[in-house]
Amino acid sequence: MSLPRVSIIIRSMGRPELEEALASVARQHYDNIEVVLVAASGNAHPKPPPSAGRFPVVYVPGETRRPRPVAANAGLDHASGAYLGFLDDDDTLTPEHVSGLVNSLQASPQHKVAFVAAVEVRPGGVVWRVGNVRISRLALLEQCFFPPCAALFRRELLAQCRFDESLDAAEDWDFWIQTARHTEFLFVPQESAVYRADRGRSVMSGQDGGVSAEAQRWNDAVRRKWANERLEVARAVEARFAQALGHLERSEHALAETAVDDTLRAYPYHVGALRLRGAWRAQRGDYAAAADDFDLATQCRPNDPELWFQFADAWSRQGARVKAEAFYRRVLTLDPMHVRAHTRLAELAPGP
């Protein structure tokens, strides 16, 4: 059986790094790839090679400079693959990237987007790992979780989704928001995309590798565009959590747990739902899973001493004394009069 074709779209400014990007495609283990190379810099773009290793290069020339979303749409219009992905001309992919994503999507037909963890190289050689397994529609309406090169998606999404050409940046985030209306995202546990923020030519990157002022302006534009939808989706999530609390008040524990799980599928960062699920897991003796819930909850609400206390307790129950002590001390930093934290620390103190 023949492998479905994958189109890797490169929006190119004709930079020297393009050769490295094409070489990373050429090294892919997957055997049916086309490169769609869009001249985003206009007629000054040098003519690319006819192939990247054993894979053909479809060149999309242009007379004038194409902004990022215009170049993306031009690439989509010329791509023939059943699966599509993006690669900027200063980024790279590791050899297992395409095969890992395609295999995962074929094994999970209900998903239309799959993504991997990415390595972001920041100025000064700082390496930052990007990619979060906890993505939902509401979470994506709040922030973008990965660079364009980290994902692959099914062609069928193009019937509903297109890059917004009014955006000069953050167009990829806007595109993922659109796709999240039609599919859940599948995380593939491999680190196979390399995003080079250190090359300093992206509107999205500041001098320190953080978000530039220009990028922030476009991020804010995306937030304004989707503000009403975000409010609508958030209200639906809160309504589901309210159902969970109602079941709990009526001692309908199984229904309450189902509603909490539904809440966290819809929004993995819901602190109230994380607190409840963590407490239930601790009661059952699953302290490692409880610690995972409290870990995420404290990241979302770092100034809540009670969450830190529950987090510390989960580690204490696992016999992780050093971590437990550190987190009990964190509780006391936030609430010096927290009696139970004082008591737990005294219990963990070594004897004479």
Residue 205 has pLDDT above 90, yes or no: no
pLDDT, residue 209, reads: 47
pLDDT, residue 214, reads: 85
- Ranges for all domains in the chain classified under CATH 3.90.550.10: 6-225
pTM for this prediction = 0.89
Q: Strand runs (DSSP E) across the chain, as ranges?
A: 6-12, 33-39, 51-52, 55-60, 83-86, 92-93, 113-122, 126-130, 151-154, 185-196
Token digits for 100? Answer: 């890992």
Query: Positive or negative CA dihedral for 220, 221, 222, 227?
Result: positive
Residue 305 has pLDDT above 60, yes or no: yes
Find tokens 């599928």 and name the residue. Answer: 265
Supply the DSSP string of 161-188, one letter for each residue: ----TT-SS-HHHHHHHHHHTT-PEEEE
Q: What is the mean pLDDT of residues 63-81?
A: 96
- What is the C-alpha separation between 152 and 136, in angstroms, rounded? 17
pLDDT, residue 125, reads: 65
Let me know the angle formed at the C-alpha of 258 by 253 and 261, rounded to the nearest 5 degrees: 125
Contact 268, 136 (CB under 8 A): yes
Higher pLDDT, 124 or 179: 179
**Tens digit of pLDDT for each residue in 243-274?**
999 999 999 999 999 999 999 999 999 999 99
- Average pLDDT, rounded, for the chain: 92
Q: Where are the alpha helices (DSSP H) in 250-286?
A: 253-266, 271-283
pLDDT, residue 174, reads: 98
Give the model's confidence band at 131: pLDDT under 50 very low, under 70 low, under 90 confident, else very high. Answer: low
Query: Positive or negative CA dihedral for 199, 201, 205, 206?
Result: positive
Let me know the angle formed at the C-alpha of 329 by 326 and 333, rounded to the nearest 5 degrees: 135
Query: What 3-state class would DSSP assign to 289?
Result: helix
- What is the C-alpha separation between 48 and 51, in angstroms, rounded? 8
Token digits for 238? Answer: 């809160």
CATH code for the domain defined by 271-352: 1.25.40.10
Give the model's confidence band at 54: pLDDT under 50 very low, under 70 low, under 90 confident, else very high. Answer: very high
What is the chain's length? 352
**Tens digit of pLDDT for each residue in 135-188?**
999 999 999 988 999 999 999 999 999 999 999 999 999 999 999 999 999 999
Residue 14 has pLDDT above 50, yes or no: yes
Burial class of residue 317 (count of CB atoms within 10 Å of its CB; 0-12, 13-18, 19+): middle
Query: Positive or negative CA dihedral for 139, 145, 147, 150?
Result: negative
Q: What is the mean pLDDT of residues 277-301?
A: 97
- What is the C-alpha separation between 210 and 196, in angstroms, rounded? 12
Token digits for 122? Answer: 């920041």
**Tens digit of pLDDT for each residue in 288-297?**
999 999 999 9
Token digits for 61? Answer: 């020339």
Residue 204 has pLDDT above 70, yes or no: no
Token digits for 65? Answer: 């400079």
Q: What is the mean pLDDT of residues 95-116?
A: 97
pLDDT, residue 210, reads: 56
Q: Which residues contact 11 (CB under 8 A, 6 or more apart)?
A: 38, 40, 66, 68, 71, 72, 75, 86, 88, 89
Distances in whole angstroms, Cα of residue 69 to Cα of each of 138, 163, 165, 315, 343 = 23, 5, 5, 47, 58
Is CATH 3.20.20.105 correct for 6-225? Answer: no
- What is the C-alpha separation between 48 and 52, in angstroms, rounded? 10
pLDDT, residue 133, reads: 77
Q: How far apart are the first and last CA of the chain?
A: 72
Residue 212 has pLDDT above 80, yes or no: no
Distances in whole angstroms, Cα of residue 314 to Cα of each of 229, 319, 350 = 37, 9, 20
**Tens digit of pLDDT for each residue in 222-246?**
999 999 999 999 999 999 999 999 9
- What is the C-alpha separation between 270 and 260, in angstroms, rounded? 9
pLDDT, residue 206, reads: 46
- Ranges for all domains in the chain classified under CATH 1.25.40.10: 271-352
Distances in whole angstroms, Cα of residue 243 to Cα of each of 233, 270, 350, 352 = 16, 14, 45, 51
Give the model's confidence band at 211: pLDDT under 50 very low, under 70 low, under 90 confident, else very high. Answer: low
